[in-house]
Amino acid sequence: MPVKNRFAELLPEITAWRRDLHENPEILFETHRTSAVVAEKLREFGCDEVVTGLGRTGVVGIIKGKSDRSGRTIGLRADMDALPIHEETGLDYASKTPGAMHACGHDGHTAMLLGAAKYLAETRNFDGTVAVIFQPAEEGGGGGKEMVDDGIMERWNIEEVYGMHNWPGVPTGQFAIRSGPFFAAADQFDIYVTGRGGHAAKPHDTLDTTVIASHIVLALQTIASRNADPVKQVVVSVTSFETGSKAYNVIPETVHLKGTVRTLDPGIQDMAEERLKAIAEGTAATFGGAARVDYRRGYPVMINADAQTEFAADVARAVSGDCAEAPQVMGGEDFAFMSNARPGAYILVGNGDTANVHHPKYNFNDEAIPAGCSWWAEIVERRLPAA
């Protein structure tokens, strides 16, 4: 089964929705306009129920099939939020909001799921119920967790959940997926180093925090090279090094380090947290200073369930003719909260030869819309076949 003809017909309309969303990006949970647009369209489509305010600004639409002998409900999830990036695409429909941009394609994800919702509400050629889930705050806010905590899985007895992300570098409209751990756990840390400040010409009278912190940065790299099993992946990145002084002739009293830890295995995650604290505190003590570590676990590992992944790949092959094996990704994805709550699968749809996501010149490729919409619709019609 190739791309559904209905989505070829709807492409201009869905593209217009996508470009409107692109012009009006909203960050984290501040997706008030986006959520209102989504809710309005779901009501226009004739969804049986539309609920707003879930996970603060999330929206869920319920579409019932022509029959419900199966008694089953599946969830389809798209993210809605933008990034705090100044757009540099030069597009006619570029962001009208300074410092905000749809640089990860969530405008496309939302538009594709809206297109699928319109089709499913028109045809209802399935046995059971579909929950279309529009989530805020994927980009660091944990909106998926908040929607799960608000009880969306229990409220509608959702049994399985499916997600999709566009992927530059994969041919437009083609798919890629993998079973098991797919996207990494994404943790954050702050390290506060304290010594004794003083004049730069008298280092012997100080406990130099720049030296201490520099040794900490270097020593943290041994977590990957000497503490982790070489066949298991871990990334430890110090991304900010800020001293307590900006002067040329002052040795600062304090240094503040920031960074992230990415892992695909819970045991490696535990080890990395333990070693990071021990290395920071021990290195500082070696030089006579002190270090305090604030380690915060963020998004968990996003794991695709075997059965749902195999099914999602079969649907992708039916739509596009093929489905590649995706590599593991060390970026985080808060669909993990939903796939931890219910078995699910998360697939990549090709965005073609475009700028990478999170780049100021990135743009979602509207030519991917028919394939993405068709995948959503086929997930429902195959998982909940009409009686």
Residues annotated in a binding site: 104, 106, 139, 165, 358
Residues annotated in a binding site for Mn(2+): 104, 106, 139, 165, 358
Instruction: Kindly report the length of the chain.
Output: 387
From 126, 143, 121, 142, select the one nearest 134 (Cα to Cα). Answer: 143
CA torsion sign, 108 to 144 to 344 to 75?
A: negative
- Which helix (DSSP H) or strand (DSSP E) does residue 380 occupy? helix 369-383
Q: How far apart are CA 66 and CA 125, in angstroms?
A: 6
Beta pairing partners, 236: 261
Encoded amino acid at 325, one letter: E
Q: How far apart are CA 302 and CA 198, in angstroms?
A: 47
Burial, 9: exposed, middle or buried (Cβ in 10 Å; 0-12, 13-18, 19+)? exposed
CA torsion sign, 334 to 257 to 330 to 228?
A: negative
* Angle at 149 (CA atoms; ends 68, 305), nearest 5 degrees: 60
77 phi and psi angles, rounded to 5 deg: -120, 135
329: helix, strand or coil: strand
DSSP assignment of 85-138: -------TT--SSTT-B--SSHHHHHHHHHHHHHHHHHH--SBSEEEEEEES-T
Find how far residue 171's CA is from the centre of its chain. Answer: 21
